[in-house]
Structure 1
Amino acid sequence: MRVAAILYAADEGPAADALLAELAWRLRERGLKLAGAVQSNVSQPGQSRCDILLEDLASGRVVQASENRGPMASGCRLDAGALEDIVGLSSASLAPETALVIVNKFSKREAEGHGFRPLIEQAVVLGIPVLAAVKPAHLDAWTQFVGSTPALLPLDEDAVRHWCDAAIFGAASNESAAPR
């Protein structure tokens, strides 16, 4: 099973988001078909927290996935309906030629059995590699979900790129052997 998680600290969420978005861009530039979603965070004047945007990697569609709960609101602000919309788009785009599934976060919704879990399961059944970002608070749920000892990657571009190349092209492949 070719499944890995980038383990990131709670305060490294934006860095994990940026790494996955950059990785997706580079892989698409190489002509690879991707599924899943990446996250971008957009600051809003007068708001204490940014807006969460999710981009479906197959269609390029961007969905706002955060609810505006006011400037003083705390706690989860994820719009579960918007998340499920992106999951549906991503699941519909899976095909034998999909090179990699990227999941911006395996988080609370996934730990509860929702969110991107069905997409990850579908990808594994189809033999498509999966890369997700997981913070320590959800690591136990991730480990139970994927079973055995999961592949954990540091929040490091080179390590993640190396894992992706090996998962997509095989252990003997390297950057020069990959299509551009």
Structure 2
Amino acid sequence: MNHPPLSYLFGDRSSGQLSALAGQFTAEGKRVVGALPLDPNLPSSKNCDMDIRIIPGGASFRISQSLGQGSAGCRLDAGALEMAAIACAAELAKGADILILNKFGKLEAEGRGFCPVIAEAISASIPVILGVNRFNLDALLEWSGGLARELELACID
């Protein structure tokens, strides 16, 4: 596998593509580690619940919290996301051919969340593929020090 150390899919709907990539790499016999939506093909629930699963272990985490009717604050449960990152790091420590993460999001833009997992993978020469939206792209590019490259799906081997 010859991939840049850190690649990203840009857009708000990259979850399905990342899940498909994980399936493709797994079918090729590669050990894929990461965090992906529990089911990227299901439409979001009316409550906008966010659930991710750790691969290959299968542990799932609800990373959203209910703030009550009419609330407008951030629904991300930072503690649950940090626990998911710890579980992902434990899988990464067992060895991996590639790390695939659903999103470089708000916590990662602050240097938290999955950032230590991403850094560990890069330092171990394990390629990383993740999703990022327009709100966090600049933070990803800054955090990566210019290392991140947009992924061209046609170039995946």
Report the TM-score, using the length of structure 2 for normalisation.
0.85
Secondary structure at 1:81's aligned position in 2? Answer: helix
Instruction: Please name the residue that 1:4 is paired with.
Output: 7
Shift of 1:60: 1.2
Query: In 2, are the aligned partners of 1:101 and 1:123 still within 8 Å (CA)?
Result: yes
Alignment partner, residue 79 of structure 1: 77
8 Å contact kept, 1:96–1:126 = no
Query: Which structure 2 segments of 5+ residues have no match?
Result: none
Structure number with the higher helix fraction is: 1
Aligned to 1:152: 150
SS in 2 for 1:66: coil
Number of the residue aligned with 2:126: 128
| Farther-moved stretch of structure 1 (78-87 vs 34-43) | 34-43
Displacement after TM superposition at 1:42 (Å): 5.7
Calculate percent identity across the aligned residue pairs. 32
Alpha-carbon distance, 1:27 to partner: 2.1
Deviation for aligned residue 1:149: 5.7
Deviations 1:47-94 (A, max 9, x none): 4x4211111012011111110122422232111111111100111111
Match of 1:54 in 2: 52
CA RMSD of aligned residues (A): 2.0
Unaligned ranges ≥5, structure 1: 154-158, 166-180
- Where does structure 1 differ by over 3 angstroms across 4 or more consecutive aligned residues? 40-44
Q: CA deviation at 1:119?
A: 0.3
Whether the aligned pair in 2 keeps the contact of 1:36 and 1:87 (CA below 8 Å) is: no
Opposite residue 90 of structure 2, the aligned amino acid is A
Q: CA deviation at 1:146?
A: 1.0
| Deviation string, structure 1 residues 24-43 (Cα, Å, up to 9, x no partner) | 12322332211120124664
Alpha-carbon distance in structure 2 between the residues aligned to 1:160 and 1:75? 35
Change in Cα spacing, 1:96 to 1:81, as seen in structure 2 (3 Å) is closer
Where relative contact order (Cα < 8 A, 6+ residues apart) is larger, the structure is 2
Q: How far off its partner does 1:140 sit?
A: 1.6
Equivalence for 1:101: 99
TM-score under structure 1 normalisation?
Answer: 0.75
